[in-house]
Amino acid sequence: MPPTSRRVLIVGGGGREHALAWKLAKDGAEVLVAPGNAGTAGIAENVPLSATDVAGLVRLASERKVDLTVVGPEAPLVAGLVDAFAAAGLRVFGPTSRAAQLEGSKLFCKQILHRGDVPTAMFQEFRSVAAAREFLEAREDVPVVVKADGLAAGKGVFVCDDRAAAIEAVATLGSDPQFAAAAKGILIEERLDGVEVSVMAITDGRTIITLPPLQDHKAAYDGDQGPNTGGMGAYCPTPFVDAELLADIEARILVPTVHAMRRAKVPFQGVLYAGLMLTAQGPKVLEFNARFGDPECEALLVRLESSLLELLDAAADRRLETVEPPVWRDGASVTVIMASEGYPGPVEKGRLIRGLDAAAAVEGVEVFHAATRLDGGDVLSDGGRTLAVTAVGGSLAKAKLQAYTAVKQIRWQGAWCRKDISDKAMAHELGVAEAAAEASGE
């Protein structure tokens, strides 16, 4: 048998990394987190290295004899952390820099989708603002989505109702310095309508293990109003993807993508995350990420009963076909993000957070820290998405109740959250039940 990891290093410092540390510690690993947060400090050893300090992380993993490194965020993947670890003979879970271009370059992603014949929005590619503008002016006035090619912290996507808005978005990409690198290529995409869901799979480049489907809540405010964020909450599983649709997504989207990557000589090992739109023509890819979603990871891992360590080990060793399928807890989970005042814009940091113990005492609840730091014995807020309050329950309604019961225990100046995480699922289930009752003549 290949060695099972004992000492694991998790790279990152958000809610996803706290959930990974929590689960891997439960699986029996000794966990280091770089840089971690106040939450990971309680269950693991925090090491004060930035997630993108590739040379420092290689040194740390060598010196501390780390058996497996798990990379949370996209920036270190794109920066080549996995390549550097592999070159140093260190085991690591995550895609190489080239494979992470599936997330890092929307144009590369489209090329792979085309190769794999995977359904996605139609698009045109432009190398200058002027060319993109000319195209929009010459074309019918229809809703489109304007995207910068490269990584832009989720901000380089503009969903536009009409031509005027699209022209403005292109102008913003051309003039705003924060998009200077990302906007060297511009995509103009057909705007898709439907329900958005997240489906992730763990893959070693050949074999894939598809994970239960989730739904994120990207808009800042209730009812999907307000600016786009990194995600204000998630729940698992989502009833919008039943077993049949999940099998279809695996067969028509995930497997062909993994194969297309291998054929392109860019094998993908790690988490393949598909952001999907369920359209009238079936599921279509909006984007791929090369890592666990956040907050999806938190809602997912509280339902995983079997070992995550075993899965990640097997993927890193390219022997995923040898592991048993994961076992999931019955029922559902809900993650509610508690954010600081100002998010998704600039936020005040350093506010004292109270009530964490009372929240953690609520049945079925885990409070994952997303942006916190310790100050003596105090936990202080340290960013926008601050906590990921997560609950499991026998049903979605129960999980939601437990999560919000815990949220009510937590206080800091300026704290806020969405109140409607998972409501879309409940409305959907109600609709399905009503339709069934009608069909049976009740």
The residues of the shown chain that bind ligand GLY, judged by CB under 6 A, are: 216, 230-231, 289, 293-294, 296
Considering CB distances under 5 to 8 angstroms, the limit depending on partner class, which of ligand GLY, ligand AMP, none binds residue 293? ligand GLY
Angstrom distance (rounded) from CA 195 to CA 206: 29
Q: Which of 35, 56, 174, 275 binds ligand AMP (CB under 6 A)?
A: 275
C-alpha to C-alpha distance for 312 and 158, rounded to whole angstroms: 35
Q: Name which of ligand GLY, ligand AMP, none residue 264 binds, using a CB cut-off of 5 to 8 Å depending on partner kind.
A: none
# chain residues binding ligand AMP, by CB under 6 A: 14
- Rounded to a whole number of angstroms, the minimum distance from the CB of residue 157 to ligand AMP is 4
Stretch that binds ligand AMP, among 60-68, 70-78, 153-161, 170-178 (CB under 6 A): 153-161
Task: Report the site for ligand AMP in 103-122 (rule: CB under 6 A).
Answer: 121
The contact pattern for ligand AMP, residues 215-244, with x = CB under 6 A and - = no contact, is ---x--------------------------
Q: Say if residue 237 is preceded by a cis peptide, omega within 30 of 0.
A: yes
Helix axis angle, 255-263 relative to 106-115, nearest 10°? 100
Q: Between 294 and 382, whose beta carbon lies closer to ligand GLY? A: 294
Q: Token pair of 268, please?
A: 């993908």
Q: What residue 231 binds from ligand GLY, ligand AMP, none (CB within 5 to 8 A, per partner kind)?
A: ligand GLY
- Does the protein bind ligand AMP through residue 189 (CB under 6 A)? yes
Q: Which stretch binds ligand AMP (CB under 6 A): 173-181, 185-193, 253-261, 399-407?
A: 185-193
- Residue span binding ligand AMP (CB under 6 A) among the ranges 166-174, 190-198, 351-359, 399-407: 190-198
Asked if residue 149 binds ligand AMP (CB under 6 A), the reply is: no
Q: 145, 249, 304, 334: which one contacts ligand AMP (CB under 6 A)?
A: 145
Considering only residues 48 through 87, tell me which ones interact with ligand AMP, judged by CB under 6 A: none
Residue 300 CB, nearest distance to ligand AMP (Å)? Answer: 18
Q: Minimum distance from CB of 163 to ligand AMP (Å)?
A: 16
155 counts as binding ligand AMP under rule CB under 6 A: no
CB of 153 to ligand GLY, least distance (A): 10
Nearest approach, Cβ of residue 9 and ligand AMP (Å): 28
Residue with smaller CB distance to ligand GLY, 41 or 274: 274
Residue closer to ligand GLY, measured from CB, 157 or 360: 157
Can you read off the two tokens belonging to residue 57?
Answer: 């992380």
Q: Which stretch binds ligand AMP (CB under 6 A): 63-71, 77-85, 166-174, 187-195?
A: 187-195
**Nearer residue to ligand GLY within complex by CB, 149 or 216:** 216
Nearer to ligand AMP, 276 or 365 (CB): 276
Interface map 282-321 toward ligand AMP (x if CB under 6 A): ----xx----------------------------------
Considering beta carbons, is residue 297 or 353 the nearer one to ligand GLY? 297
Task: Check: CB of residue 41 under 8 Å from CB of residue 374.
Answer: yes
Please give the Cα distance from 209 to 328 (Å, whole number). Answer: 13
CB 195 within 8 A of CB 277: yes
Q: Contact positions toward ligand AMP, by CB under 6 A?
A: 121, 145, 147, 154, 157, 159, 189, 191-192, 196, 218, 275, 286-287
